[in-house]
Structure formats: C-alpha cells, structure tokens
Amino acid sequence: MNLAYRDVRHNLFRFVLTCLGLSLLMAVVLAMIGIYNGLVADALNIVKAPKVDLWVVESGTQGPFAEASQIPADTRDAVARLHGVTAAGSITYQTIEAPFRGETLRLYVIGYQPGYPGGPETIAEGRGLERSHFEIIADRKTGLVVGDRLRLGRDRFTVVGLVEDTMNSGGDPAVFITLRDAQQLQTQLAPPAQRVLMARGDGNGPSAQSTVAAVIARLDPGANPDSVAQTVRRWKHLGALTQADQEAILLQSVVDRAKRQIGLFLGILLSVSAVVIALIIYTMTMEKLKQIATLKLIGAPDRTIVGLIVQQSVALGVVGWAFGLILILLIKDGFPRRVVLEPVNAAALGAIVLGVCILASGLGVRAALKVDPATAIGG
C-alpha cells in the first residue's frame, strides 16, 4: 500500500486546492516563457518572412529594424544585376495608428513590390495584392476581415487578404500594402502642412518615391552571401547584411533587453515557486508529525517515511505543473501578445519543478527524521 497516495486520497480536496494554487503559479511561469518565445518568434518572423539571403541597407546603419535606413529606390535595379542574385525587391517598414470603427489600430505597415521578394509567403484567407493602389493584406490579429475598409493616411484601403502570425517585435500586427502606397503614406503631409510647405516655395514636398528602407535579395544556392554583401559594400552609400547578420542584430539589439527582463522575472518566479513548494511540503509534513512519530514507534523504516514525504512532494509538483500546462494551453490565445510554447519548454520546466520538489521535500524529510517516536506516546 502506498502511504503517500492514501494520504492524498484522504485529503483529496485540500490536495487538489493546493495543486490548483501551484498550477496558477506554473501557468504564470509558462506564460512568461511563452511570451518570451513569442517575442523572439515575432521579431524573427518579420525578418524571416521574405525568405531572402541579403539585406541591402543605408551605409553605416544596421537597418531597417534596429536602426532607420533610407536608400535610393532604384537600388533594387543595381542589386538585381549583381552576380549570384536571383531576385531583389524594395521594401519599407513603418508603424502607424489607424482609426477603425471607433478604435485605433496600431499597425506595422510593410510596403513591397508585388511580384518581387518582400510580400507575405502564404495568404490564409482572400487573395494577394493585385491592384497598384489601396489594397491591403492584414494579419488576423488586427481584427480586420476581408472586405473591411480603413483609412491609412489620407486614403481608404480595402482588405483583400489575411495572413497569420506576422507581427513586429513590439507585437504590432503587420499589414502589407504596395511599395508606392507605403512611400506615399510615409511622406504624405496633412493638408495644412502641405499648404505651409507650398507657401514656402517647396510645393512638391519630399519626394514620395525616392527612397526605400532596404532592398532584399534572394541568391543563387551556390552564391556566397558574404561575398555578395562585400560586393554591395563597394558602393560607399550602401551597407549589406546577410540573413544571419540581420537575425543576430534583431535578437541582440531589439529583443535583448526584453529577453533579459523576462529572464530575470522568470528567475524570480521560479524562486518564488521553489519557496512556495518548500513551504507547502514543510507544512504538510509538520501536520503529520504525530503520525510520523507513530510510524517510527511501530517500526516503520526511514525509507517509508521519506517515501511518504518525497512522493507527495513530487505528486504535488507534477500535478501542479500538468494543471498549469493545461491552463496556459487553454488561455494562451487570449493574451494580447503571442504566447509560443514549445514541448521542450514545458519539459524543461517539468524537470526544474521535479528538482525543486525533491529539494523542497528535504526540509520536510529533515523535520520528519528528527521526530522523536516518544511524541506518539502520551496523547
């Protein structure tokens, strides 16, 4: 007969309540891990989405994500002609806020040239951009549906397609529009500001189509990205980053602080969990001291008593972890930011919780082994 199991069954309601409390803590830990993963996944998603090998940006910058970058729009033609380049496309990125049905949508606007690299890889619903102007493909997280119309700048756009899981590192859902529209949106002034500019004699304002944020290029499988990048850098006004460079920059420059912040918070949460588990196990043991003294008195070996405490501790941790995992899997889609949980994360937390439970039960075991069997005598 398993004493730990029988004791748990006898106090099932209290055990389940304790497990639920612990599972909430585990759910928070898993949520933090998931949010961190989501942060990294979102950040890399935008970089990985175009499926390119080379990023041509403004010389001396690490654009277009970590720093602002502006290069001449005709750079695409020059890059497309380089040896080893199979396709190249101009691209722009900007964050805007757009009013929609009484609310304000914060959107990460990606401008690209349909037919060239830079657009969405897969359309989940609807179609891609077919017209040169005023069509939009939006991430589902925006809440937009195909057919919706919303105002970006001074123009109204129609949603023609939807994509999934396309966000920037700040969690803003992405929308795709044509490069021309994006350039227009970037330099468009409000009518009063336009009038002031015209009164000063610069009626055309900034050139709407003169710059892009970057040119992205796909290379021939046999081409060496570093050597093509080196070639691009010979043009003194341009810089070039390989895909690996761009991902590393994004993780180090953009996500690093958030990563450390979440990592620290995660460490605190795990420490709190360890203390809570230790306290629960210790309290459970202290409540059983008389029973443990009786067990010792009637001849129970230490292994029976240690087994009782350690098995309950492990059961508490495992059930708390499992409930926590189920809970976070059920609610993760309700988080404002993407929560990405990999099986390895859940397994790692399970292993940590198991270790913590065994360590935490040490306090209880110590107290139990010190119990004088004589305390069972005398009422």
Partner 1 sequence: MSDQPGRAIVEIENISKHFGTGAARVDALRDVDLTVRAGEVVALLGPSGSGKTTLLNIIGCIIDPSAGRLTLDQERVFDDGWLRRDLRRLRLDKIGFIFQFHNLLPFLDAKDNVALVLKMAGKSPAQARQRAIELLDYLEVGHRRDAMPALLSGGEAQRVAIARALANTPRIILADEPTAALDSKRAGIVMDLLRKLAEEQDACIIAVTHDEKIYDRFDTLFHLRDGRLER
- C-beta closer to partner 1: residue 258 or 300: 300
Q: How far is the CB of 165 from partner 1 (least distance, A)?
A: 50
Angle between helices 302-331 and 343-370 (to 10 degrees): 150
Q: Residue holding tokens 């612990």? A: 22
Window of 6-14, 82-90, 173-181, 322-330 that interacts with partner 1 by CB under 8 A: 6-14
Window of 104-112, 176-184, 190-198, 287-295 that interacts with partner 1 by CB under 8 A: 287-295
**Contact status: 300 vs partner 1 (CB under 8 A):** yes
**Contact status: 274 vs partner 1 (CB under 8 A):** no
- Smallest CA-to-CA distance from 30 within 228, 322, 260 is with 322
Q: What is the largest CA-CA distance in the chain?
A: 103
Q: Report the distance separating Cα 215 and Cα 376, nearest Å.
A: 81
**Contact status: 296 vs partner 1 (CB under 8 A):** yes
**Contact status: 304 vs partner 1 (CB under 8 A):** yes
- C-beta closer to partner 1: residue 102 or 379: 379
Kindly identify the residues of this chain, within the stretch 188-217, that bind partner 1 according to CB under 8 A.
Answer: none
Q: How far is the CB of 11 from partner 1 (least distance, A)?
A: 7
Token pair belonging to 73: 């729009």
CA 305 to chain centre: 45
**Contact status: 377 vs partner 1 (CB under 8 A):** yes
Q: How far is the CB of 312 from partner 1 (least distance, A)?
A: 11
Binding mask 345-374 for partner 1 (x = CB under 8 A): ---------------------------xxx
Token pair belonging to 161: 């397609």
The Cβ of residue 28 has, within 10 Å, a number of other Cβ atoms equal to 18
Contacts for 361 with CB less than 8 Å, ≥ 6 apart: 281, 309, 310, 312, 313, 314
Query: Which residue type, as a one-letter code, is found at position 141?
Result: K
Instruction: Give the angle 354-309-324 at the CA atoms, nearest 5°.
Output: 35
Instruction: Give the angle 153-154-158 at the CA atoms, nearest 5°.
Output: 80
Query: DSSP assignment of 11-66, as one string?
Result: THHHHHHHHHHHHHHHHHHHHHHHHHHHHHHHHHHHHHTT--SEEEEETT--TTTS
Window of 7-15, 194-202, 214-222, 322-330 that interacts with partner 1 by CB under 8 A: 7-15
- C-beta closer to partner 1: residue 78 or 300: 300
Q: How far is the CB of 297 from partner 1 (least distance, A)?
A: 6
Window of 161-169, 181-189, 286-294, 313-321 that interacts with partner 1 by CB under 8 A: 286-294
| Parallel/antiparallel/unpaired status of strands 174-178 and 103-112 | parallel
Count of positions on this chain that bind partner 1 (CB under 8 A): 25
- C-beta closer to partner 1: residue 300 or 306: 300
* Contact residues: partner 1, CB under 8 A: 1, 3, 6-7, 9-11, 290-291, 294-301, 304, 372-374, 376-379
